A and B are shown apart, each in its own frame.
Chain A
Amino acid sequence: MFVAAQMTDDRPPQPGAPPPDLGDFGDRLRRAQGQNEPVGPQETGAGGVNAKGMGAAFRIATELIAALVVGAGLGLLLDRWLGTRPILLLVFLALGMASGILSAFREAKRMGAASE
């Protein structure tokens, strides 16, 4: 049955038959033209991966610790330069913590936006 159906579909148009319908040709062509657009952002996804959750937690932890380390380093440097030890170290530790939380927050927001 399937073969027969296929064969009837492939039959060339009869000489006396009305010319083939051009109605959907334009639609199909437009669809094909749409597909030839350069690669869009939807093709650039890294793929839905379960490891993302673990990676996200790790990334946020890295962000927090790194900011704290940078804050502490800046504080120590400024303390040594201005001779204010340990005031600026404490101040910059706090700022580092805030910065870490801020960038972790931004990271989370970005990941949320990316997963949508």
Chain B
Amino acid sequence: MEEAGHAEHSPLAQFEIHRLIPLEFFGIDASFTNAALFMLISVALITWFLMAATRGQNLVPGRLQAMAEASYGLIAGAVRDNVGTEGKQYFPFVFSLFMFILFANFIGLIPHTFTVTSHIIVTFALAMFIFIAVTIIGLWRHKLHFFSLFLPHGVPIFLAPLLVPIEIIGYLTRPISLSVRLAANMLAGHTMLEVFAGFVVALGIFGFAPFLFVIAIYGLEVIVAFLQAYVFAVLTCLYLSDAINLHKH
């Protein structure tokens, strides 16, 4: 979050992208930006957290190791419950996805940081990758039978011309709703925090009430940061399950 005291400072300023090191490869703008910096910070923190937590390889885990094991168990459980044993090979991907989003969300809650996941292009890229990968997995496993996904079981055939387009639209909506949900949550939460933090600063001694409100929202945002990462991971599992098991959820 940026300083909110200045009138010319929009609450959206915290989402601005700055090119820290301008770079270009093959005509593509690959500048190292603050977004890139915070992506790498997320990766570094995740790796450090997991490696430091499991360094002792203790049979009786300490607090850090218990947290690392809990995150493993959470995603392993989501993959197993939603996809089944065949989902095991995709577990490292879902786990990486969950940790990346979780840490990006959490880091963004620290004042004066940048929230990678508040940018629709980032979440859309992740969602689109999942969408394409899941579609390829489904087609590869079931060939043309994969399209039975668009015709729910037990539906009279004369309803097919109506239901198949609806299901196709639903299928195509997945990457959009998946990415918009995450980015919009982060954007809304952080903007709200920024706005109320601005009130606190502007009201000075009278900013006590908004300050309490900011603390309440902050607590809520911590929960939302976790839930959005978890929901993203679980929905990825459900889409994988559709591609692998072909039945409707």
Q: When A and B assemble into the complex, do they touch directly, with CB atoms less than 8 Å apart?
A: yes
Measured CB to CB, the closest approach of chain A to B151, in angstroms, equals: 14
Residues of chain B whose beta carbon lies under 8 Å from any beta carbon of chain A: 73-74, 76-78, 80-81, 162, 165-167, 169-170, 172-173, 176-177, 180-181, 184-185, 220, 223-224, 226-227, 230-231, 249
Q: Are B227 and A67 in contact (CB under 8 A)?
A: no
- Report Cα–Cα, A58/B223, bound state, in Å: 15
The answer, among A51, A74, A110, for a CB contact under 8 Å with B223, is A51
Q: Are A67 and B77 in contact (CB under 8 A)?
A: no
The answer, among A58, A67, A98, A99, for a CB contact under 8 Å with B181, is A58
Given contacts A51-B227, A62-B181, A100-B173, could you give 15 more A-B pairs where the C-beta distance is less than 8 Å? Answer: A39-B76, A43-B73, A44-B78, A52-B227, A55-B224, A62-B177, A62-B180, A66-B173, A66-B180, A67-B169, A70-B173, A74-B169, A99-B167, A99-B170, A103-B173
Measured CB to CB, the closest approach of chain A to B219, in angstroms, equals: 9
Task: Check A106/B249 contact, CB under 8 A, given A95-B169, A99-B170.
Answer: yes
Verify if A80 is at the interface (C-beta below 8 Å from B). Answer: no
Verify if A108 is at the interface (C-beta below 8 Å from B). Answer: no
Is chain A's binding surface mostly helix, strand, loop or mixed? helix
Residues of chain A whose beta carbon lies under 8 Å from any beta carbon of chain B: 39-41, 43-44, 46, 49, 51-52, 55, 58-59, 62-63, 65-67, 69-71, 74, 92, 95-96, 98-100, 102-103, 106, 110
- Report Cα–Cα, A74/B227, bound state, in Å: 31
The answer, among B74, B169, B170, B226, for a CB contact under 8 Å with A44, is B74
Measured CB to CB, the closest approach of chain B to A7, in angstroms, equals: 28
Task: List the B side residues contacting A63 at CB < 8 Å.
Answer: 173, 177
Q: Are A95 and B81 in contact (CB under 8 A)?
A: no
Q: Are A66 and B176 in contact (CB under 8 A)?
A: yes
Q: Are B181 and A41 in contact (CB under 8 A)?
A: no
Q: Are A103 and B227 in contact (CB under 8 A)?
A: no
Task: List the A side residues contacting B180 at CB < 8 Å.
Answer: 62, 65-66
Q: Are A99 and B173 in contact (CB under 8 A)?
A: yes
Q: List 9 A-B contacts (CB under 8 A).
A: A40-B77, A43-B73, A46-B227, A46-B230, A66-B176, A92-B165, A95-B165, A99-B170, A99-B173
Task: Check A41/B227 contact, CB under 8 A, given A98-B166, A99-B170, A102-B166.
Answer: no
Q: Are A39 and B73 in contact (CB under 8 A)?
A: yes
- Report Cα–Cα, A59/B180, bound state, in Å: 9
